[in-house]
Amino acid sequence: MADLTRLTAAETAERIASGAVSAVEVTEAHLARIDAVDEKVHAFLHVDREGALAKAREVDGKRARGEQLGPLAGVPLALKDIFTTEGVPTTAGSKILEGWIPPYDATVTRRLKEADVVILGKTNMDEFAMGSSTENSAYGPTGNPWDLTRVPGGSGGGSSAAITAYEAALAIGTDTGGSIRQPAAVTGTVGVKPTYGGVSRYGMVAFSSSLDQAGPCARTVLDAALLHSVIAGHDELDSTSIDRPVPDVVAAARNGSVDGLRVGVVTEFRGEGYQAGVLQRVDETVELLRELGAEIVEVSCPSFTKALAAYYLIAPSECSSNLARFDAMRYGLRVGDDGAHSAEEVTALTRAEGFGDEVKRRIMLGTYALSSGYYDAYYGSAQKVRTLITRDFERAFSQVDVLVSPTTPTTAFPLGERADDPMAMYLADLCTIPANLAGNAAMSVPCGLAPEDGLPVGLQIIAPAMADDRLYRVGAALEAAHQARWGHPLLEEAPSL
Ligand code: GLN
């Protein structure tokens, strides 16, 4: 039989539904693949063998009884370790949550289970989703399957690596400033940050609540759409969840087209600091959009150049408040609980040992930015920039249907290269952050390999809030045109592990 790990999620679901293969066979093939390669890749922090096989047996049972199956029934998925999973460890990449077993499921987890998706396990990530390389994980970095000496992006590098290495057909990520899109770009996969409020944050460990958004990671645009439609939709348990119908992303992914579409190329996202090969592939892809019938215009969004600075005040501010809950009393780690220390001392000792350097840096930055006397100068100014960015988007979307740019300025950088240089690390999200600050929907799709290093390049597509379907229409059209040109999916060029 053909290698079951190479199928798309859509194909896998179809074969399981028709009885051509069983969900147990598919799950076993992926568990075997994890056994074979994950020691090298380190995409997973926890593999839930028993849980995955039990779910697969349940799917096979349902099918045998002729019961209705979900659209992704039996498809194996890797879940970022930031979502609570009842009875299964959840660390958010932090030592402070080591050993914590959540008593409940996140809404995303629950919806995946209800859709009969098989959750293989939890993926590695930068601690509390702070980072762009997965090197800030307390449990060691993940390698990029294209070149294991390079980063798989971050914070969701475990999720992007798992699908790139065929350890899972699908994965879930979260994107606060780019953590779904940037990993997708540097691994040659598809990643989508839905409209803010499109997917419930309930049970997702909070980093920066006004920016955090869960979304799909996949090898094809259609697979991403199928997963998007399973996890999205209103949830009473999240007060920022949007109570409106989810855009029909699956129909859009099945009907890729850019004919007559107005595409704006963001002027600000090129120039110094951008790798030549990245710009070359992005320019070629813009040209391809033109050939496919899109109308291309240049659009200037002047406030985007201030997005990174605003983000690094707003995100740390919110995290300094969100991470106060890790007080040694409620979750996981507790240090100094020996009768010789006061409760305050236990909290301080636990936080000192349980948080990594980047997390501490952000808590300090955020606490400072919110302190009286500095609040207006820092946090207040950043919020004003946020409004200017939103207005830039509004102006842009009065002229065009979608905006495009590189997803990230460079291809996958070597592990260690930026680990001790926070500023260099932060630059990886230069192009992705505006969509988070404004709450828009955005996607990264592969657009080829950079000539200088042979590594994947991603094109970012940004749509207005609640127009997520546009991303899929454009993404699917590009995917089809690119594959016709290359003769195969980009991932087939990845060296085998
Ligand atoms: N790399 C960015 C940061 O470190 C974004 C992270 C994210 O999207 N979770 O904050």
Does the beta carbon of 124 sit less than 6 angstroms from any atom of ligand 1?
no
For residue 157, name the pLDDT band (cuts at 50, 70, 90): very high
Residue to probe by mutation, ligand 1, list 125, 132, 308, 407, most atoms within 8 Å of CB:
132
> Strand locations in 272-409, DSSP E?
295-299, 402-406
Query: Could you tell me what percentage of the chain is helix, strand and coil, using 3-state DSSP and rounding each to the nearest 5?
Result: 45, 15, 40
The pLDDT tens digits for 187-206 are 999 999 999 999 999 999 99
Does the beta carbon of 197 sit less than 6 angstroms from any atom of ligand 1?
no
Does the beta carbon of 164 sit less than 6 angstroms from any atom of ligand 1?
no
Percent of the chain with pLDDT over 90: 98
Atom of ligand 1 nearest to the CA of 436: 8
Structure tokens at 134: 């997965």
CA distance linking residue 67 with residue 61, whole number of Å? 9
For residue 332, name the pLDDT band (cuts at 50, 70, 90): confident
Give yes or no for residue 119 having a pLDDT over 70. Answer: yes
Average pLDDT over residues 25-54: 98
Give yes or no for residue 415 having a pLDDT over 60. Answer: yes
Written as one string, the DSSP assignment of 327-352 is: SSSSSS-----SSSS-HHHHHHHHHH
Give yes or no for residue 451 having a pLDDT over 90. Answer: yes
Atom of ligand 1 nearest to the CA of 315: 10
Written as one string, the DSSP assignment of 410-472 is: SSPPBTTSSTT-HHHHHGGGTTTHHHHHHT-EEEEEEEEE-TTT--EEEEEEEE-TT-HHHHH
208 CA → ligand 1 middle, Å: 10
For residue 166, name the pLDDT band (cuts at 50, 70, 90): very high
259 CA → ligand 1 middle, Å: 34
Atom of ligand 1 nearest to the CA of 130: 4
Q: Which one of 55, 80, 95, 113 is the catalytic residue?
A: 80
Residue to probe by mutation, ligand 1, list 83, 130, 312, 430, most atoms within 8 Å of CB:
130
Question: Which pLDDT score is estimated for 439?
Answer: 98
The pLDDT tens digits for 220-254 are 999 999 999 999 999 999 999 999 999 999 999 99
What predicted TM-score, i.e. pTM, was given to this entire model? 0.98
Domains with residue ranges and CATH for the chain: 4-256+441-493 (3.90.1300.10)
Give yes or no for residue 418 having a pLDDT over 80. Answer: yes
Residue 27 has φ and ψ, to the nearest 5°, of -65, -45
Average pLDDT over residues 452-471: 98
Antiparallel, parallel or unpaired: β 441-449 and 456-463 = antiparallel
Give yes or no for residue 174 having a pLDDT over 90. Answer: yes
Q: Which one of 155, 159, 229, 317 is the catalytic residue?
A: 155
| Residue the block writes with tokens 């914070």 | 155
CA distance linking residue 359 with residue 98, whole number of Å? 16
Question: Which pLDDT score is estimated for 1?
Answer: 56
Question: Which pLDDT score is estimated for 2?
Answer: 74
The pLDDT tens digits for 125-152 are 999 999 999 999 999 999 999 999 999 9
Q: Which one of 94, 132, 137, 179 is the catalytic residue?
A: 179
DSSP reduced 3-state for 314: helix
Does the beta carbon of 429 sit less than 6 angstroms from any atom of ligand 1?
yes
For the chain, give the number of residues. Answer: 497
Is 384 catalytic? The answer is no
* Among the listed residues 270, 271, 205, 273, the one whose alpha carbon sits nearest the alpha carbon of residue 418: 273
CA distance linking residue 155 with residue 86, whole number of Å? 23
